[in-house]
Amino acid sequence: MRALNLTLLTDLYELTMMQGYFKNPTDQIVVFDAFYRKNPCGGGYAIAAGLEQIIEYVRDLHFSPDDIDYLKSLKIFDTDFLEYLRGFHFTGDIYAIPEGTVVFPREPLLKVIAPVMEAQLIETAVLNLLNHQSLIATKASRVVYAAKGDGIMEFGLRRAQGPDAGLYGARAAVIGGCIGTSNVLTGQMFQVPVKGTHAHSWIMSFPDEYTAFKTYAELYPNACILLVDTYDVLNSGVPNAIRVFKEMREAGIDLKGYGIRIDSGDLAYLSKQAYKMLADAGFEDAIISASSDLDEYLIESLKAQGAKINSWGVGTNLITCNDNPAFGGVYKLAAIKNKDDEDFIPKIKLSENIEKITNPGNKTIQRIYDKHTGKIRADLICLENEVFNADEDMIIFDPIATWKKTKIPGGSYILRELLVPVFQKGECVYTSPSVMEIQEICRKELNTLWDETRRFVNPQEVYVDLSDELYKIKSDLLKKVGQASIE
């Protein structure tokens, strides 16, 4: 799958527009922003993910002879345009927010500056790769937060919407904080921990539960997690597990990484009773793992009920992000110039839905941190060439409800530019960290959020404001374009 040429992973209209530009020659350079409008899962943030795969896609972008033959068979593309595609490659610039960074609505997660045909072609694939992994990484971070330090294992491959969703969804889940995945191919490709126990079928294939447990313990004495709900958790599963653990201890085996897994029933009640039985037998340090259609809300509820679970296997609801199956990222034209011009002309898209009105211009993002706590105060979308002095007072305001203003005293805050160069003149200038390094970046990033932003119900929104200069350009364009549409 990874070696597959993804050049035709695009919507047809990208190619028909490309032919239109080809037939009407232009030397225009454009700026496109990829951003999203609403946080997933009703939350207060999202996690940027998928950049490594975007880099691989852009780096390998080319039309193979088979691609050209297929496009020719559609009978909607002219021969001269198809000949142009034979030598096509990306020559532009790309800036992006690094993977693992916490992000917020309306700010560019990725910016493309390129000839119009090149920028147009990559739209669909960029959104596909960015949307999916950002969604799953965000969901995983919420599940991990609910577990309050307990390990979360990603177990969703068999329920994912296809191999790619399972493979890259598991990658994103580890970025979001999962300690491992059951997906062996993800483990191989991205060097992340793989974890798993055994199925009910293992138990059922033996004459009795005890024999199944004993055999498994002999095979994996240092990773002996026994599934105890095949028949009866408290009257059969846990007693048989305790019997095996006692025999292991009597045999001089140093018990570590051992315990039980419960996959059905009332997890709060069963885990508390199972813990009591294990503790009474001298196994109070045993892992009690739970699975069974878990998500952040159920985990939070079980923790509140005092469930004695300290390890969680989360599958379907994580890998599919069942309560919010799409991230909703978009890719919009923001500025344009002729090849030899120095300055971009800002462009804006209007809509009757105010949240769909775009922010014009060649932009970047300055993140404002509280100097004393390290927490995020706000994000400031500004023009690429704007300069700010953190020693001076800054007044930020809501770009829609402009009367909502906040003064941040000079010297009390730190600025960090979020967008970094990824491609320059078609050449990749960015090295992706490993997945486990990105996970650590994500962990630190999440710690810059206030707890009020991470709560699941009515989270506090992080302000995403416009600089004065950008706000003025947007206001002037709204008046100009709006008046033109009336006339």
Predicted structure pTM score? 0.96
pLDDT tens readout for residues 173-227: 999 999 999 999 999 999 999 999 999 999 999 999 999 999 999 999 999 999 9
For residue 420, what are the β-bridge partners? 96
Q: How far apart are CA 91 and CA 353, in angstroms?
A: 35
| Helix, strand, coil shares, percent, the chain, to 5 | 40, 20, 40
pLDDT of 486 > 60? The answer is: no
**H-type alpha helices, 176-281:** 184-190, 200-204, 209-219, 238-250, 267-280
> Cβ–Cβ contacts within 10 Å for residue 399, how many?
20
Segment (H or E) for 21: helix 12-23
Q: What is the pLDDT of residues 395-404, one digit of tens each?
A: 888 777 778 8
Beta-bridged to residue 180, according to DSSP, are: 153
pLDDT tops 70 at residue 296: yes
| Beta-carbon contacts of residue 181 (< 8 Å; ≥ 6 apart) | 153, 154, 155, 157, 170, 173, 174, 187, 192, 193, 194, 195
Concatenating the DSSP letter of every residue in 97-151 gives PPTT-EE-TTS-SEEEEEEHHHHHHTHHHHHHHHHHHHHHHHHHHHHHHHHTTSE
Confidence of residue 482 (pLDDT cuts 50, 70, 90): low
Q: What is residue 344's DSSP assignment?
A: P
Give the residue-averaged pLDDT of 68-91. 98
User: Nearest to residue 320, comparing CAs of 168, 116, 91, 161?
Assistant: 161
Strand 259-262 with 28-35, pairing? unpaired
Residues 127-182 pLDDT 10s: 999 999 999 999 999 999 999 999 999 999 999 999 999 999 999 999 999 999 99
Contact 29/116 with Cβ under 8 angstroms? yes
CB atoms within 10 A of CB 251: 10
Angle (nearest 5°) at CA 162 between 428 and 150: 80
Give 60's pLDDT tier (boundaries 50, 70, 90).
very high
